[in-house]
Amino acid sequence: MERSNFQVFYPISTRWMDNDVYGHVNNVTYYSYFDSAINRYLIEEGGLDIHSATVVGYVVSSNCQFRKPVAYPDAIEAGLRVVKTGNSSVTYELGIFKQGENEASALGQVVHVFVDQETNKATAIPDQIRTALVQIEVA
């Protein structure tokens, strides 16, 4: 998948500790990159207040396909888009790109279900967040 498939990009600095014994970013670290990109978008564009929100998104599913290795000190970017917005859930797709490269080094998908923090029950996506999600949704 190419850069042009994504609407939003966030720079990420790889860290020495991201590398594993094989000399590349460890597989679990990519999920941290995904989480950071999604939550940055929800905070900056969707108005999510991480300290006092009564409705938040829980990750209920995630996956990653590794295409090319990334290693410290590579400069990378996370591309983000939405592929499905439901009543209480959203499916994101993400691409991890080395700076200046057109092809993704890794591709991921994350599903959030929005829940009421008091009841832990699924609830409708808040309007401001829904508006932000729809802005980056692709057909």
Residue 101 has pLDDT above 90, yes or no: yes
The structural domains of the chain, ordered by start, are 3-135 (3.10.129.10)
| Residue 100 confidence (pLDDT) | 92
| Residue 80 confidence (pLDDT) | 98
Mean pLDDT over each residue of the chain, to the nearest integer: 97
* Residue pLDDT, tens place only, 20-68: 999 999 999 999 999 999 999 999 999 999 999 999 999 999 999 999 9
DSSP of 35-57: HHHHHHHHHHTT---TTT-SEEE
Q: Give the residue-averaged pLDDT of 71-78.
A: 97
Tell me the pTM. 0.95
What pLDDT band is residue 139 in, cutting at 50, 70 and 90?
confident
What pLDDT band is residue 84 in, cutting at 50, 70 and 90?
very high
Residue 61 CA to residue 91 CA, distance in Å, equals 9
On the 0-12 / 13-18 / 19+ scale of CB atoms within 10 A, 48 is buried
